[in-house]
Amino acid sequence: MATPQPPTVSRRRFLAGAAGLASLGLAGCSADAAEATEIRFYQTKREVIPYIGDLLEQFRSEHPGIRPIHDTSEGTLNGQFVRSSPPDLALQLYNYEMARFQERGELSDLSDLPEAAMITDSVKEQLELYPTYPGRLSVLPYSMMSAAVVYNQEIFAQHDVEVPTTHSEFIAACETFQDAGVTPIYGTWADPWTIAQGLVDYTVGGMVDVINLFQQLRDLGPDVGPDSRVSFSKVLREPLEKMLALLPYHQGDANGRNYGDGNNAFANGQAAMYLQGPWALVEIGKINPDAQVGTFPLPMTEDPADNKVRVNLDLALWIPEHAKHRDEARELLRFLARPEIQDAYNEFALGFGVRTDAPPVRDPRIAPMQPYVDRGAVYQGVSQGIPTNIPFYNYCQDVVFGADLERMLATLDADWARLAKRA
């Protein structure tokens, strides 16, 4: 089924949103606007700024007493909290930046909202990737992205290759393509993030309980090291060794190719597989609307029951503890969390629902991942659990470019222990 198009957005509205602060008053309502309570709504994920902007227009028409200010600036949140001027409501990528405020108790408790009771058990587990504040549900998950191996269905069919379900079958498929002169996997290693979220996250997630790993690492804190019961060196060595064994199945110039190159090449049939998420599917569809692509989890063991897909809580709603207009912010939060609004957004953005009553995805490119999501056969990428002040993406690139794996893992252990000691 074709992906639905976003609501019509004027060029004026788009430019205002992209510039940073978009005042959402309606034409002809200046008197009402003067009496309305202004709340600041902070949003990340630039690709959907126009879409969210139109939702805020709809909210304004239904709630004339509340006027959201659409803040899409790229400034750091830390300064806003330090100055006691955080946004009233945010719809933000669930990452380490916002998790810092969650851990410190800077975000208010949302557990009393009816929407909180609708979060799936699998999504609740994913919230445990980052430290939480005791006794609080600090964020309301909004959208989940699921990522797996993207594959060219026509190339697979031409070479009589079935979707692999074990690691040995995956290697055999790569060998078949390589023998036929087809690039098995297209690499974009010039962009470190594509290595971390692709090769590294897929191989580690297929073998390691990522959330449990980080829970143990947090418990050990500054004691993480070569002799600790759990460490990056001990847990990640085997999957990353298997990752390195996949490098020869990439094209020869992978070191110099970036994300844009990869989307173009894969859209034009230059490789059988591509380790990317649904964000790439959107770009591939723009380049070649007729591309026949599907998705499957990267198998890392010989048991198909171990197969899982990588997920991340792409967006989550949160309200600061000291928001100036908490009641109004809750009104907007509940509006955005309406099933008919949330589900339509996820269909537009190729996201997966996070509520127990959310409909399954309908886009055939990502539908193969739905059964894994339904039964909780998912993992968050190991790259998502490492603080951003540890240059993990660069470490991953160094290893792919030939740096010593043991040394990288030892450095990662030392970085983690150092940061834990400071905290």
Q: Which of 225-229, 248-252, 300-304, 330-334 has the lowest mean pLDDT?
A: 225-229
Pairwise pLDDT comparison (371 vs 27), residue with the higher score: 371
- One of 3.90.25.10, 3.40.190.10, 3.40.50.720, 3.40.50.300 is the CATH number of 149-311+378-422, namely 3.40.190.10
Could you give the CA distance from residue 22 to residue 238 in angstroms, rounded to a whole number? 49
Predicted confidence (pLDDT) at residue 107 exceeds the cutoff of 60: yes
Q: Which two tokens stand for residue 307?
A: 């197969």
Q: What is the pLDDT of residue 211?
A: 94
Q: Are strands 21-23 and 66-71 parallel, antiparallel or unpaired?
A: antiparallel
Q: What does the mean pLDDT of the chain come to?
A: 91
Q: Which two tokens stand for residue 245?
A: 């064994």
Q: Which two tokens stand for residue 84?
A: 């006691």
Q: What is the pLDDT of residue 130?
A: 86
Predicted confidence (pLDDT) at residue 371 exceeds the cutoff of 90: yes
| Arithmetic mean of pLDDT, 244-270 | 98
Could you give the CA distance from residue 28 to residue 242 in angstroms, rounded to a whole number? 63
Predicted confidence (pLDDT) at residue 16 exceeds the cutoff of 90: no
For the chain, the structural domain boundaries read 11-145+313-371, 149-311+378-422
What is the percentage of the chain residues whose pLDDT exceeds 70?
Answer: 91
Could you give the CA distance from residue 402 to residue 357 in angstroms, rounded to a whole number? 47
Q: Tell me how many degrees the CA angle 401-248-272 measures, rounded to the nearest 5.
A: 115
Pairwise pLDDT comparison (78 vs 219), residue with the higher score: 219
Question: Do residues 141 and 336 touch, judged by C-beta distance below 8 A?
Answer: no
Q: How confident is the model at residue 77 (pLDDT cuts 50, 70, 90)?
A: confident
Cβ within 8 Å of residue 39, ≥6 positions away: 66, 67, 68, 69, 88, 89, 324, 325, 328, 329, 332
| Arithmetic mean of pLDDT, 284-308 | 97
Does the CA dihedral 405-407-413-418 come out positive or negative? negative
Q: What is the pLDDT of residue 19?
A: 41
What CATH code would you report for 11-145+313-371?
Answer: 3.40.190.10
Query: What is the tens place of the pLDDT at every residue in 56-71?
Result: 999 999 999 999 999 9
Query: What is the tens place of the pLDDT at every residue in 142-162?
Result: 999 999 999 999 999 999 999
| Arithmetic mean of pLDDT, 198-220 | 96
Predicted confidence (pLDDT) at residue 32 exceeds the cutoff of 70: no
